[in-house]
Amino acid sequence: MTIQTTGMLWLLSGVFITLLIEGLLWLYWRFWGAGSIRDYISEYDEPEGDYRIVQRIKTPTQRVALVETEGKWLIYGNGYVMFSTTEDERMYAEALIHIPMAVAKKRQRILIIGGGGGITTREVLRYPETMEITTVDADAMMMDFGKNLQPLVKFNKGALHHPKVQTVIADGRSFVEHAEGKWDVIILDLPEPSRDYPELGRLFSVEFYRLFQERLEPGGAIGVACSVFSSSPEYVWSIQATLEAAGYHILPYHFDIIVEEEEDWGFCLATAAPVSPGDVHISVPTRHLSPARLQDMFHIPYGYSIYKRDAKIQTDHNRVLIEIEESD
């Protein structure tokens, strides 16, 4: 081997090592260091395949990331998808909205807390008898996306601009404490409390749920989104126990997309009087809530049910839901 060839090999080796080090430093910066995306996109909820982060914003309430992947848009809050323009988002909104809407005696005045994306509002607007929808979100950025981010506006059909809809930027707890009047249906679609945002626990507490006793019309219904049943059944049962402690009858249900997305979402239907699955009659067309699907939604698998005995009640002064989230 000539001296010239040896020198060339050393040069190429040096270039390779330099590029390798720079690559490793970039990966460290991006995923663990100061430039980490993990504060914005959790490893658990990271999109499969290629994606691009269009925008990262730190708001007073959360760290928000706007992500585009394969023509779909995902809006993250504190690392987890809050809403998106995907088909599973449509499934989720149908499951959350149409069950309480189906059992409520009236559907004229609706309150949605955590509805900045406008997707749940879109589903409520399918009911012609609904006259007034109040959509509340604590984060002005989320509401701005729901009103002005064109892919999302197209997906939610401009729901937040509809004349029946009033949008409010406010903490959900504060809004309810100072609100006047009553609602026929109340929807709670809120992010889980966490170590970084423990104050969110006040939106899942027995004290908060008791406020709705005076805000819910006779024959009204409350729908509560309860995280992922398949990975955190204790979380769902604790919300049920908390609602029961606040004086409601609870019908838990789930929406299984384990085959498609490896998830099974949990929900609680809360009413003043007992409700059975046979009372659920959806009066508007839906894409995903077929009779067979509805029958499955109210059958809680044994693997989830065994955790019910350990359910604890969330209050304004404890960390029950945070501890559950941290133990998963």
**Which residue numbers are catalytic?**
189
Quote the CA–CA distance of 134 and 108 in Å, as a whole number. 11
**Pairing, β 183-188 against β 109-113:** parallel
What sections of 32-148 are H helices per DSSP? 87-103, 119-124, 140-148
Cα angle 251-83-252, degrees, rounded to a multiple of 5: 5
CB atoms within 10 A of CB 203: 21
Tell me, what amino acid is at 323?
A: E
Residue length, the chain?
Answer: 328
DSSP-derived letter for residue 110 is: E
H/E element holding 324? helix 320-327
- Residue whose pair of structure tokens reads 């809809």 in the numeric block: 165
H/E element holding 200? none
Is residue 252 a contact partner of residue 301, using CB atoms and an 8 Å limit?
A: no
Quote the CA–CA distance of 110 and 173 in Å, as a whole number. 16
Is residue 223 a contact partner of residue 186, using CB atoms and an 8 Å limit?
A: yes
Is residue 113 a contact partner of residue 203, using CB atoms and an 8 Å limit?
A: yes
H/E element holding 195? none
Quote the CA–CA distance of 183 and 176 in Å, as a whole number. 11
Is residue 270 a contact partner of residue 241, using CB atoms and an 8 Å limit?
A: no
Cα angle 318-319-322, degrees, rounded to a multiple of 5: 165
Is residue 267 a contact partner of residue 252, using CB atoms and an 8 Å limit?
A: yes
